[in-house]
Amino acid sequence: MVKKLFWENPLQDTCTAKVTSITKNVNNENTTFVIQLDQTIFYAFSGGQASDQGTMNNLNVKTATKVGNDIHYELESEPDFKVGDSVEIKIDLARRKNLMRLHCAAHVVCFLFEDMTGLAPGDAIGSSVDPHKARLDYKYPQNISHVFEELTKKANEVFAKNHPIETFANKDDPNRREWECKSLNQACPCAGTHVSNTNQIGKIKLKRKNTGSGKERIEIMLA
């Protein structure tokens, strides 16, 4: 199982790792190389959060895929290393920071919106975070834009203040993670990467989108 350094320090943008597996896949005329490591800072798509982008020994990582408790990295070209070698991993830190800010913003907006509307967590039907925006999807019978002015105000008030955020392993399963903001009395399971304080998020703006009958979407963007 790969050691996930991004849980220990989400701002670490380089690391050295040992290659534990290289798999060559040949599909018609397309050949790919899938790498596994003993440790990594390179987050793979999970829980709605987009994968990091970066390199392995200066070779571009095409995809990062979570497989059980491991992560498989597909390279854009044939590796110049073998199993047992040490390689240098680098990620796009500016992209990671945006993902961290938007992911935390989504948690706070989610809690505020559900509190304002009386919705339960089970009414949420989807979410995602990419470097440009986060989204929250809900089962809701009417246009939700009428709450956006107050919701935006409340969220930005939170983001202007000092509210520490903690992430930690679940006490019963170390492969599960928890997100918690004690001063806001907010907590939820989450294995993504996050800022350590709400005042690191900055101002946000919201956009409403209807995705079908009885379905409403909140899009969250950095202002």
**pLDDT tens digits, residue range 175-195?**
899 999 999 999 999 999 999
* Domain range 3-91, CATH class: mainly beta
Distant-in-sequence, close-in-space partners of 15: CB < 8 Å, separation ≥ 6? 5, 39, 40, 41, 88, 89
Query: Which residues, in sequence order, are CB contacts of 135 under 8 Å at separation 6+?
Result: 106, 126, 127, 128, 129, 217, 218, 219, 220
Task: Tell me if 3-91 shares its fold with 95-222.
Answer: no
Q: Tell me the CA end-to-end span of the chain in Å, nearest whole number.
A: 39
Q: Tokens representing 32?
A: 């790919």
Torsion of CA 183, 188, 192, 194, to 10 degrees: -10
Q: Which runs of E-coded beta strand occur in the chain?
A: 3-4, 14-27, 30-37, 39-40, 54-56, 59-67, 70-75, 86-91, 124-129, 134-139, 166-169, 177-181, 186-189, 204-212, 215-222
What would the pLDDT profile of 29-72 be if each residue is shown by its tens digit? 788 999 999 999 999 999 899 999 999 999 999 999 999 999 99
Do β-strands 39-40 and 3-4 pair in parallel, antiparallel, or remain unpaired? parallel
pTM (two decimals): 0.94
Contact predicate 22/83, CB 8 Å: yes
pLDDT in tens, 200-221: 999 999 999 988 888 999 999 9
Please work out, in degrees rounded to the nearest 5, the angle formed at the alpha carbon of residue 163 by the alpha carbons of 3 and 145: 100
Architecture field, domain 95-222: 2-Layer Sandwich (3.30)
Check pLDDT > 90 for residue 174.
no
Q: What average pLDDT does this structure show over 4-27? A: 96
Domain ranges for the chain: 3-91, 95-222
Q: Is the pLDDT of residue 79 over 90?
A: yes
pLDDT digits (tens, 9 = 90+) for 89-110: 999 999 999 999 999 999 999 9
